[in-house]
Amino acid sequence: MKKVAIIGGGATKCGKREATWRELVQEAGKAMFDNVDNISPKDVEALLVGAAQPERFVFQVHVAPMVAEHLGITPTKVIATTELMCASGQAAIRYAWACIASGMADVAVALGVEKMFMPDMAEAQTNMTCVLDREWDGVNAMSAPPFFAMTAQRHMHEFGTTKEQMALVSVKNHHYSTMNPIAQFQKEVTVEKVLQSLMISPPLNLFDCSGITDGAAGVFLVPAEDAKKYTDTPMYIIGSGQASIGNAVNNLASITEWVPLKLAVKEALRTAKISVNDIDIAELHDCFTISELMEYEAFGWCAKGKGGKFIEDGEPYIGGKIAVNPRGGLLGCGHPLGATAILQSIDILQQFRGEVSRGRRVKGAEIAVAHNLSGAANVHSLMVYSRG
């Protein structure tokens, strides 16, 4: 396998955008090509489009060719849409990576996009309710908030985790997102503000939940040996892990311990030939506050059940044990499903390049992980990136 580099990328502003799906694609595509000097649409041989539910949100399928059409890309090796719900963007990165690593293509684009704001928000919520097994879980209105609410309830029940501890995740990630100009949420929140926000699905309040978001982002992948032709500061893919166990609620490995994440972490560390202590930045999938606490535990930065204490002690802040979500996370940046993993990778690249604002910069960062979970947290996907 060839070593693969990400040489640049671009993104839209995320949030409730006054723009259509295809306009988000055009904005991100232009930003992406503007970011790298020596590359044009005609150079792109493989195009992978991360899109979770374009057929429901914008009533359009066969979207990869639309992305190609709007950006003047005419792929000659691979073109496809990748769907893995909340990890659809990482699926695009993984397949683009495979295209380059295998030698099949020399220039690949992974572009993720989601337009989630619809005229009737109940319709958007409907789309989010066919993610778990629609006929056996979705039928009970098991969209993401109820599922993660029950996960949080069990975590609180078994380990004594508190709502205040969960709220601290939202406080941290909103703090960092105020320093990220493309983030959906630009205001600080406090523990009190989180606890007083609209109750969505107890014990989860509104600010325990990531947003409904419009956004798009794209990156270029090339063989590492070619990377310096395009930039002095590429970043490299040095490892990955991905694991999936079960799907319907009955068939999950556990509600309160994300076994597939532990497997994916083990595989990512093994392939990257690093230990968990070598990671400088962790972009973790904080779709809900409880998720991030459980992720500290699965990575092994703290003991099982101690995720709440870990953030109380300030450990996942920059300067703590591990900088978690200095981008602002999904809680702060929003979660445009197909675009999220691409946004994470661009932010890590900018961290390595020292391009992010001082208040959220992780000085001297060399290694970062990007994590996405999907479905009932039955699938976990991880990429490991390095500066050098």
Partner 1 sequence: MGNIEFEKIKRPENIKLPHMLDFYPLEDEKSTRISQFFKNLKEGRLTTTKCKECGNLLWPPRIICSGCLSDKLEWVDLGVEGELYAFTEMKAGPPLGFVQDVPFCIGMIKIGGLLISARIDDARYEDLKIREKVKLKIVELEDGRVFYRFRRIG
Q: Which residues are catalytic?
A: 86, 335
Residue 337's identity, in one-letter code, is L
Region of 92-100, 128-136, 267-275, 337-345 interacting with partner 1 (CB under 8 A):
128-136
Region 315-354 residues binding partner 1, contact defined as CB under 8 A: none
Contact 92, 221 (CB under 8 A): no
Region 227-256 residues binding partner 1, contact defined as CB under 8 A: 248-251, 255
Q: Applying CB under 8 A, does 378 fall inside the site for partner 1?
A: no
In whole angstroms, the minimum distance from the beta carbon of 206 to partner 1 comes to 8
Q: Applying CB under 8 A, does 135 fall inside the site for partner 1?
A: yes
In whole angstroms, the minimum distance from the beta carbon of 135 to partner 1 comes to 4
Q: Applying CB under 8 A, does 1 fall inside the site for partner 1?
A: no
Q: Which of 77, 154, 193, 309 binds partner 1 (CB under 8 A)?
A: 154
Residue 154's contacts (CB-CB under 8 Å, 6 or more residues apart) are: 255, 256
Q: Applying CB under 8 A, does 139 fall inside the site for partner 1?
A: yes
Q: Which is nearer to partner 1, 113 or 209 (CB)?
A: 209
Q: Applying CB under 8 A, does 138 fall inside the site for partner 1?
A: yes
* Distance between CA atoms of residues 355 and 387, nearest Å: 13
In whole angstroms, the minimum distance from the beta carbon of 253 to partner 1 comes to 12
Contact 48, 96 (CB under 8 A): yes
Q: Which of 28, 113, 131, 150 binds partner 1 (CB under 8 A)?
A: 150
Region of 153-161, 262-270, 320-328, 344-352 interacting with partner 1 (CB under 8 A):
153-161
Region of 23-31, 83-91, 142-150, 302-310 interacting with partner 1 (CB under 8 A):
142-150
Q: Which of 113, 149, 274, 318 binds partner 1 (CB under 8 A)?
A: 149
Q: Which is nearer to partner 1, 26 or 247 (CB)?
A: 247
Region 163-202 residues binding partner 1, contact defined as CB under 8 A: 198-202
Q: Which of 140, 162, 190, 196 binds partner 1 (CB under 8 A)?
A: 140
Q: Applying CB under 8 A, does 134 fall inside the site for partner 1?
A: yes
Q: Which is nearer to partner 1, 254 or 277 (CB)?
A: 254
What is the 3-state secondary structure of the chain? CCCEEEEEEEECCCECCCCCHHHHHHHHHHHHHHHCCCCCHHHCCEEEEECCCHHHHCCCCCHHHHHHHHHCCCCCCEEEEECCHHHHHHHHHHHHHHHHHCCCCCCEEEEEEECCCCCCHHHHHHHCCCCCCCCCCHHHCCCHHHHHHHHHHHHHHHHCCCHHHHHHHHHHHHHHHCCCCCCCCCCCCCHHHHHHCCEEECCEEHHHECCCCEEEEEEEEEEHHHHHHCCCCCEEEEEEEEEECCCCHHHCCCCCCCHHHHHHHHHHHHHHCCCHHHCCEEECCCCEHHHHHHHHHHHCCCCCCCHHHHHHCCCCCCCCCCEECCCCHHHHHCCCHHHHHHHHHHHHHHHHCCCCCHHHCCCCCCEEEEEEEECCCCEEEEEEEECC
Hey, what are 351's tokens?
A: 């961290």
Binding mask 251-290 for partner 1 (x = CB under 8 A): x---x-----------------------------------
Q: Applying CB under 8 A, does 121 fall inside the site for partner 1?
A: yes
In whole angstroms, the minimum distance from the beta carbon of 85 to partner 1 comes to 16
- Binding residues for partner 1, rule: CB under 8 A, are 120-123, 125-126, 128-130, 133-143, 145-146, 149-151, 153-154, 157, 198-204, 206, 248-251, 255
